[in-house]
Structure 1
Amino acid sequence: MNIRRDQRHFRRPWFWLLAPVVGALAGVLYALIFNLDIVHSAIRGAFIGTPIILYERGVLFSGSRNAIREAATPVFVPATIAIYGLMIVVGNAAAGTALHHLFRYMQTAREAMAMSDSGLLYSLAVSAVVAFVFRVSDLIGPSLFISLLLGRYHRPTREERIFLFLDVSGSTHFADQHGDLEAQAYLGQIFNALAAPVRRTQGSIDDYIGDMALVTWPMRRGMRDAACLRCVFDFAATIKAQSSAWQARFGQVPQFRAVLHCGWVVTAEVGLERHKIAYFGDVVNTTGRLETLSRTLGEPVLVSADLLGSMQGLPQDFAAEHLGFHVIRGRNEPLEVAAIRLR
């Protein structure tokens, strides 16, 4: 299911247009700086930029990319620049060949494939900036990074959002058996596995609190084809597919509980020395208390009737079992909940 959905994403026309367009724009900027032919530079930029962007989107060398992204920053930046450098050389050679045969650029293809010192330094400098930007984006989350850049929440904004609290079951017992350092490695690998399902469903990991991850979506984005629910079951499928590796590394396969709720919150940028996007309102507190209820009910995936009703029907591959109304601490009115399962 995950692979098919990723393939649909990659087949979208805008996805394949974005990479060469961004690369071409970098080439145009280079031409303007060094007073060169804009068309030739744009074509060269497109050939160089496209593989780099496809690499960052996980289309090229996804295994190496994921391993490098898990590394410490002193390893991540030079390793990423080295890969970018390889792509620059290959992309430039392909661009030179194309320019020679299509536009009779230079007398031979070999001459057209040559790269000037300024071109190499410019490409490496842009690559270093791109690597640093992606690293910062990884550390604070892509959605938060873009929101901070745009100043979207510099003034408090009221918006409707979906919240997912995903709690790792048995993490305290694991820590008692194996120690805190091994428990942190265990949780780190679990949260790494969560990143891809969240990215595929266009969600944002807002925070990690102990053994729990808080994920959020804008209402419309999380509702689209039940994306917020697909995130949970994609994550479960990822864990199951790698069960033998989990068993070999940690002696057990992770289990988790997931609760989802939605509603209106006030979203605002807070902090001076350390900026953060924070959510204010009863919705976040209620979602957290639903996690306790899911433990009591023994249901691994629990959603509020508010969220279920907003979806106006589940996709055919999901089934909901209504579990009635329950008193939630801090709420005046009982909240109706339902368990979600795959058919």
Structure 2
Amino acid sequence: MLNSVKSFFRLLLISTIFWVLAFVLFTAIRYNGIEEELSLFTDDILYLPISAYYVHAIIVGLIISFFYALIEFIFDRLSRRLVLGLTIILKSIIYFLLVVAVLSGISFLLEVQIDRDLPNERGWWRDDPFFWITVIYFVSASIVFSLIRIANDRLGSGNFIQVLLGSYKKPKEEEHVLMFLDLKDSTKIAENLGHHKYSRFIQDCFLDLNTALYKFEAEVYQYVGDEAVIQWPIKKGFRKNNCINLFFTFQRKLKKREDYYTNTYGVSPEFKAGIHFGKLMVAEVGAVKKDLAFHGDVINTASRIQSLCNRFNKLLLVSESVIERLSISDTHYELLSHDMELKGKEERLKIYAINQR
């Protein structure tokens, strides 16, 4: 619940900044210099309450931003139940009604301030050109906002700005924590369910994983079949033990929904994971399907640590370097191998299993 509240207020903050700026810009485009322009057609001294228009623009931006964030938040939670086309239609209807309501309210407010009767009777918007200009502007701004959110989700929080600035045009060295998360007994489950039902099964598992990502400041680097690669910048990964707490929270989530999985698919999912960290190169790759790619030995090491879970019959394995950075007591982890030689690597590592608190 707390995670959902934080997620909503984060979206509300971003929405408020965007929509206030958007409507201030709209007001500037529409009214800046309008007095000088109208003076060409009359000798009368014209006075328009331009400052009041900007105040109203801020008010509209604040109102729109709250309801926009609320609607987006609700539909994000309903995404697993609604198809994209139906979502777009429903949100479009709601946003249209919202614009009508907000502009009608502002019209009544402005009418009192300037002491002039405005055409704001019922149905006024049907033939009002200003209303339809506002709708077109709102739709255009909404598309821009949605594209920014999609790009930010795709590239990772904060990376969108870095890509815009060209920070990753040349490979850049960074330190990251990597978790390779894999479904246990995936081959057996896939054979029993069949490819169609198995795909829906994996979809449900990763949707449950996604509900915990924001709380632990994690981002998905990529999905590969029934495996997910999760990454953190070094500080976020070890802050409050985020990298291991995400795994245990995900396990508890799956356990809580065990009845759903058993009734729907006849099996309860269990995941295993390997965690390692270190320096790697981050680079912008591709032109047709642009993405950020990680290159470095730390990726191979994390993957091979995860592959040892079956051998030791453990769900979470980490390297010694990870143990040294975590804040956990000795009772919550155990040394499994003093010098484990990983396949294809000359380096030998100490491998630890971490038990849930």
C-alpha displacement at 1:16, in angstroms? 5.5
Q: In the alignment, which residue of structure 1 is the partner of 2:58?
A: 42
Q: Which of 249, 252, 255 is 1:240 aligned to?
A: 255
Aligned residues: 329
Q: In the alignment, which residue of structure 2 is the partner of 1:322?
A: 335
Q: Deviations over 1:97-143 (max 9, x none)?
A: 7x579x84777999599762222222222223333444455566556
Change over 3 Å in CA distance of 1:241–1:107 after alignment to 2: farther
Structure 2, unmatched stretches of 5+, are 32-49, 126-130
Change over 3 Å in CA distance of 1:119–1:30 after alignment to 2: same
C-alpha displacement at 1:301, in angstroms? 1.2
Structure 1, unmatched stretches of 5+, are none
Q: What CA RMSD, in Å, does the superposition of the two structures yield over aligned residues?
A: 3.2
TM-score normalised to the size of structure 2? 0.80
Q: Deviations over 1:27-56 (max 9, x none)?
A: 101101211621211111111122213444
Change over 3 Å in CA distance of 1:158–1:105 after alignment to 2: farther
**Equivalent residue runs for 1:1-343 within 5 Å:** 3-7=1-5, 17-35=13-31, 37-56=53-72, 58=73, 60=74, 63-65=77-79, 67-68=81-82, 71-72=83-84, 74-89=85-100, 92=103, 99=109, 104=113, 111=120, 116-135=131-150, 137-138=152-153, 145-311=160-326, 313-314=327-328, 319-325=332-338, 326-343=340-357
Contact 2:316 2:355 in 1 (8 A): yes
Contact 1:269 1:278 in 2 (8 A): yes
Contact 2:12 2:65 in 1 (8 A): no
Q: Distance in 2 between matches of 1:8 and 1:132?
A: 22
Q: Distance in 2 between matches of 1:133 and 1:193?
A: 24
Contact 1:80 1:131 in 2 (8 A): no
Q: Give the letter for the 2:270 counterpart.
A: Q
C-alpha displacement at 1:15, in angstroms? 6.8
Contact 2:318 2:354 in 1 (8 A): yes
Q: Distance in 1 between matches of 2:4 and 2:285?
A: 34
Q: Distance in 1 between matches of 2:92 and 2:144?
A: 10
Contact 1:100 1:108 in 2 (8 A): no
Contact 1:77 1:131 in 2 (8 A): no
C-alpha displacement at 1:85, in angstroms? 3.4
Q: Distance in 2 between matches of 1:277 and 1:182?
A: 31
C-alpha displacement at 1:261, in angstroms? 0.6
C-alpha displacement at 1:215, in angstroms? 0.9
Q: Give the letter for the 1:252 counterpart.
A: V
Q: Deviations over 1:204-260 (max 9, x none)?
A: 211111210111111011111111222212211221222222122111111110111
C-alpha displacement at 1:264, in angstroms? 0.6
Task: State, as a whole percentage, how many aligned pairs show the same letter.
Answer: 26
Q: Distance in 1 between matches of 2:293 and 2:86?
A: 31
Change over 3 Å in CA distance of 1:80–1:10 after alignment to 2: closer
Q: In the alignment, which residue of structure 1 is the partner of 2:43?
A: none
Task: Give the SS at the match of 1:248.
Answer: helix
Task: Give the SS at the match of 2:294.
Answer: strand
Task: Give the SS at the match of 1:286.
Answer: helix
Contact 1:47 1:95 in 2 (8 A): no
Q: Distance in 2 between matches of 1:299 and 1:160?
A: 27
C-alpha displacement at 1:202, in angstroms? 2.2
| Bigger Cα Rg | 2
TM-score normalised to the size of structure 1? 0.83
C-alpha displacement at 1:63, in angstroms? 3.3
C-alpha displacement at 1:163, in angstroms? 0.3
